[in-house]
Amino acid sequence: MAWSFEKVARLFEGQPHLDGVFFFGVDDDVSGLLRTHATARRATLALKKLYMAGVCPAYNSANLRDFHGMHGYGAVWEGVIRDGADWVELTTWNDYNEDSNLMPFRWKDGWEKQYSDHDEAFLDVTEYYSAWFRTGVLPKITQDKVYYAYRNRSKWLRQAWNVKEGKWVDITSCPFPFDQIHDDV
């Protein structure tokens, strides 16, 4: 996290074969991601190297990185576009509970729907920003849409209802699945 110009430059020291650098771009708040992308891009420009920025729809780990829904997601995209990154990686995590997947979501029988929820809003917003990134032209908005982002529980929630046992449990000390309850956007 929080790369400095010097840190990025050091990545290339003694590495003549290294053409560029990728910043994973999920494990910080929105302002931190904006700073790191901008700094890394300035460094790679100075070094005549490529920069690939990581853009993530949400990263709801136990660390609770709150991207403030579409507001934060859009801000990161706009920063990456403004900074002139060469490439963008749509960074997703390999765990549904971390809510970083981008796809039309359909629940299958037996899946743990109560622990995460998704819709296609992030796909829609990603289409808009990725078109802007690819073409350099702000896409025309042809239809009004409202995206509603919210937490389905308090950031400070310490207890959850265990349906199987019929009692409240302390989620800070319980094993799966309560250690995997994350804030959805």
Answer yes or no: is 56 within a domain: yes
Answer yes or no: is 141 within a domain: yes
CATH code, domain carrying 140 = 3.20.20.80
Strand partners, 161: 168
Answer yes or no: is 51 within a domain: yes
- The region, left, alpha or beta by phi > 0 then psi within -120 to 50, assigned to residue 136 is left
Q: How far apart are CA 99 and CA 121, in angstroms?
A: 13
Answer yes or no: is 161 within a domain: no
State both tokens at 140: 């025309």
Give the model's pLDDT for residue 95.
56
Domains: count for the chain: 1
Helix, strand, coil content of the chain in percent (nearest 5): 35, 15, 50
H or E element at residue 88: strand 87-90
State the residue range of the domain holding 83: 5-149
Answer yes or no: is 118 within a domain: yes
Answer yes or no: is 175 within a domain: no
Least trusted range by pLDDT, from 9-23, 50-64, 121-135, 151-165? 151-165
For residues 152-167, give the mean pLDDT: 74
Least trusted range by pLDDT, from 47-56, 112-121, 150-159? 112-121
Answer yes or no: is 166 within a domain: no
* pLDDT category of residue 64 using cuts at 50, 70 and 90: low
Backbone angles phi, psi at 56, to 5 degrees: -125, 135
Answer yes or no: is 178 within a domain: no
Give the model's pLDDT for residue 13.
96
